[in-house]
Amino acid sequence: MPRFQRARKPEEKEVRRAAILGAARALAREVGPIALSLNELGRRSGVSKPNIYRYFESREEILLGLLIAELEEAASDIEGALDRRADIARVAAAVTRAFLQRPLLCQLIGIVASILEHNLSVEAIAASKLRIAQLLGRIVVASRRALPWLAEEAGTWACSSIGLFIAGLWPAAHPSPAATEVMARPELHALLPDAERDLRRFIETLLTGLETIARRKSAKT
Work out the number of other CB atoms within 10 angstroms of the CB of residue 183. 15
Question: What pTM does this model have?
Answer: 0.90
Chain region(s) in the chain for CATH 1.10.10.60: 1-56
Q: How far apart are the first and last CA of the chain?
A: 64
Q: Which CATH superfamily is domain 1-56 in?
A: Homeodomain-like (1.10.10.60)
Work out the number of other CB atoms within 10 angstroms of the CB of residue 21. 19
Q: What is the DSSP letter of 4?
A: P
Ranges of the chain whose pLDDT falls below 50: 1
> How far is it, in rounded angstroms, from Cα 48 to Cα 50?
6
- pLDDT of the residue at 55: 94
φ/ψ region of 32 (left if φ > 0, alpha if ψ in -120 to 50, else beta) reads left
Q: Which CATH architecture has domain 59-220?
A: Orthogonal Bundle (1.10)
Burial class (CB in 10 A: 0-12, 13-18, 19+), 9: exposed
Chain region(s) in the chain for CATH 1.10.357.10: 59-220
- pLDDT of the residue at 13: 87
